[in-house]
Amino acid sequence: MLVLNQTSRYHLCIEALRRVPRLQDKARDLINRCNEALEAQRKLVVERFEDMPAIRNWKREPL
């Protein structure tokens, strides 16, 4: 659902990197990697109707 709403950790990372002017040139690689992860997620959902394990089993680390 977060991916569909474009509020996943990948989307948030991409937006943060796009909004910091001094990171524009350095951020391209990480933005590409985030987009590749989102595309892999999309393909898996279409094929198996479930999130990839890295997303499905993700847990926030305790503070």
pLDDT value for 26:
84
Residue 63 included in any domain: no
Rounded Cα gap, residues 36 and 6, in angstroms:
14
Angle in degrees, 0-180, between the axes of helices 9-19 and 24-48, rounded to the nearest 10: 160
Q: Which of 18-22, 25-29, 39-43, 46-50 is least confident?
A: 46-50
Rounded Cα gap, residues 60 and 31, in angstroms:
22
- Which one-letter DSSP state was computed for residue 21? G
Length of the chain: 63
- Counting the structural domains of the chain, the total is 1
Centroid of chain to Cα 29: 13
pLDDT value for 14:
92
pLDDT value for 33:
93
pLDDT digits (tens, 9 = 90+) for 14-36: 999 999 888 878 899 999 999 99
Residue 62 included in any domain: no
pTM score of the predicted model:
0.69
Query: Which range of residues forms the domain containing residue 13?
Result: 9-56
Residue 1 included in any domain: no
